[in-house]
Amino acid sequence: MLAKVSTCAVIGLEGALVEVEVDIGHGLPAFAIVGLPDAAVNEAKERVRAAIKNSGAIFPLRRITVNLAPADLRKAGPAYDLPIAVAMLMASEQIAPLSATGGVGVADDCLFLGELSLDGGLRHTHGILPMVALARDRGISAVYVPAMDAPEAALVEDVAVYPVEHLAQLAAHLRGEQGIAPYVPDPALLAPGGDKTYPYDLADVRGQEHVKRALEVAASGGHNMLMKGPPGSGKTLLARTVPSILPRLTLPEALETTKLYSVSGMLAAEEPLVRQRPFRAPHHTTSHAGLVGGGRWPRPGEISLAHRGVLFLDELPEFGQNVLEVLRQPLEDHCVTISRAQGTVTFPANFMLIAAMNPCPCGYAGDPTRECSCSAGNILRYQKRISGPLLDRIDIHVEVPRVEYEKLTDRREGERSAEVRARVQAAREVQARRFAGTRATCNADMGPAEVRTFCDVEPAAQPLLKAATQRLQLSARAFHRVLKLARTIADLAGSESIGAPHIAEALQYRPRVEVG
């Protein structure tokens, strides 16, 4: 007998419907899976065999052929275990298809996802969110997923999610013997944001008030930032405080981020929704594929895992030059496209870059109290490890000097991150209203058209902007970045237009030697 059920594959971040066909025919006992399966799918034969036997069902000792259609689409991972088992029970007439009168059984608009253990239990499966989202878009009304993945699947509205703990439980449900109730999510657990205690707070940083101000501006507009200073001046600590001042994730942003972490297998079972902005800090030895994504079958890299959050690159010149140069396109386009012989995959990569570096190999060039041991040639070669075009894509360049003894021993507590975050949140809300209906979400996302529309410079500030453009030899990109940065500073000040003080502060964040 022939039986068919629906399941799903994940290609990049998107799902693709897969039809599982099982035919049980005459002949010597055999079990074959066709349709471009990988090793994990081929191994499903043994998992399905043991799971069916240990669930109290009968495994047919006949010639079994499983076809995963379309046959030219690669099938990977163990999520095909459950649909294969259900189709096999249907083909062996241990479960009936849904009757035309609405009886029990398997309906055409049902989707099955999940890895089976040998005892018939269901395990956590990666990529549930994009697969259930595809099911909703294709008009499928019911999905059966492992019970531990039901909270993640329930993030998709207008789909009935059935949490399955065991294959025997699902078989009883499909026979009408003992029903499984659809999963009802807890709204409190699925709401983004929420209170959180951050491990690092701006109040813990002594001194460096100008750097804290730069971080506030960067967080308010989503701008990229580079900190340069000697070892021990607080660059890393300052970078790690950034999540504590970033605005709350909106629900669409949280769903985008959750989809990435679901596909990557990094979504915690107890946290079905990514509720806080990511903070990724890869080591400088990370590979090209590790940073931007890749592999034979492309997976998201660090820049995609930092989507809607922060990518922190400490010791920036120590990263391989070819690794750093691939950041150029994602910093502009907010996505990364990976091409392979099998096809092309695009991952989102709208992140805020925070980088830190020493001024020279020994770290003490320009330090007033400690002599630098590097030659001029070594310093130049060290700084040239970062190309001009990459530096030109960084809006804020700030010096982080050595902290003086008096500030280190000052007992007074500085401004806490919660206070800064309130101002950042207010500025982001202004930008959300400004960019409603456009592709931009914050000032850093503005293109040339948005800059012309929203970056209105007061007449009194025009001479300053003109003089700075000529003296600093700003490139067209740098000119627009100054305007976007000034727009953010004006938003923090509650100003409708960009004035001379806003332009002046934005210009202070340009590097001393222009790289246009």
Residue 461 belongs to domain with CATH number: 1.10.8
Residue at 188 is within a domain = no
* Domain end call among 379, 407, 438: 438
Same structural domain, 279 and 381? yes
Same structural domain, 215 and 72? no
Number of domains into which the chain is organized: 3
Cα distance between residue 443 and residue 423, in whole Å: 15
Same structural domain, 97 and 147? yes
Residue at 383 is within a domain = yes
Q: What percent of the chain has pLDDT over 70?
A: 95
Same structural domain, 108 and 246? no
Same structural domain, 407 and 458? no
Residue at 183 is within a domain = no
Same structural domain, 476 and 353? no
Residue at 195 is within a domain = no
CA 8 to chain CA centroid, nearest Å: 21
More confident residue, 118 or 196: 118
Residue at 193 is within a domain = no
Same structural domain, 399 and 481? no
Instruction: Tell me what pLDDT residue 516 has.
Output: 36
Q: What CATH number should be reported for the domain holding residue 292?
A: 3.40.50.300
Same structural domain, 170 and 206? no
Mean pLDDT of 489-509: 94
Mean pLDDT of 319-330: 91
Cα distance between residue 235 and residue 316, in whole Å: 12
Q: Give the pLDDT confidence of 243-259 residue by residue, as tens digits.
A: 999 999 888 899 999 99
Q: Is the pLDDT of residue 344 over 70?
A: yes
Q: Give the pLDDT confidence of 51-103 residue by residue, as tens digits.
A: 999 999 999 999 999 999 999 888 989 999 999 999 999 999 998 875 433 44
Same structural domain, 351 and 415? yes
Q: Is 274 helix (H, G, I), strand (E, B) or coil?
A: coil
CA distances to 53, 63, 81, 197, 502 from 31, rounded to whole Å, are 15, 6, 14, 53, 71
Cα distance between residue 472 and residue 464, in whole Å: 12
Q: Is the pLDDT of residue 396 over 70?
A: yes
- The torsion angles phi and psi of 473, rounded to 5 degrees, stand at 55, 50
Q: pLDDT class for 21, splitting at 50, 70, 90?
A: very high
Q: CA dihedral defined by 433, 436, 439, 443, rounded to 10 degrees?
A: -10
* Domain end call among 156, 174, 192: 174
Residue at 481 is within a domain = yes
Same structural domain, 37 and 127? yes
Residue at 196 is within a domain = no
Q: What CATH number should be reported for the domain holding residue 16?
A: 3.30.230.10
Can you give the C-alpha Rg of the chain in angstroms?
28
Q: Give the domain range for residue 498.
A: 446-516
Same structural domain, 9 and 94? yes
Q: Is the pLDDT of residue 486 over 90?
A: yes
Q: pLDDT class for 104, splitting at 50, 70, 90?
A: low
Task: State the chain's mean pLDDT as an integer.
Answer: 90
Residue at 431 is within a domain = yes
Same structural domain, 161 and 254? no
Cα distance between residue 447 and residue 184, in whole Å: 42
Cα distance between residue 347 and residue 366, in whole Å: 41
101 is written with which tokens? 């009168």
* Domain end call among 438, 454, 483: 438
Instruction: Tell me what pLDDT residue 439 has.
Output: 86
- Do the beta carbons of residue 311 and residue 280 sit within 8 Å? yes
